[in-house]
Amino acid sequence: KHQRHNISEDTWRQVYEFSRCVHEDLEGYDPE
């Protein structure tokens, strides 16, 4: 099995979960 960029599936899962949390937190985010 070829692994691109040597990143494990577990790491991708963490990144995915993190980005989902950030996206939810930034709903309606106003930089002003």
- Using CA atoms, how far residue 2 sits from 7, 22, 25, 32, in Å, is 11, 30, 35, 45
Looking at residue 31, what is its pLDDT?
64
Looking at residue 14, what is its pLDDT?
92
Query: Measured between alpha carbons, how far is 29 from 23 in angstroms, rounded to an integer?
Result: 10
Q: Which residues of the chain have pLDDT under 50?
A: none
The burial class, CB within 10 Å (0-12 / 13-18 / 19+), for 11 is exposed
pTM higher than 0.85: no
Place of tokens 């990143």: 7
Give the CA radius of gyration of the chain. Answer: 14
Looking at residue 30, what is its pLDDT?
66
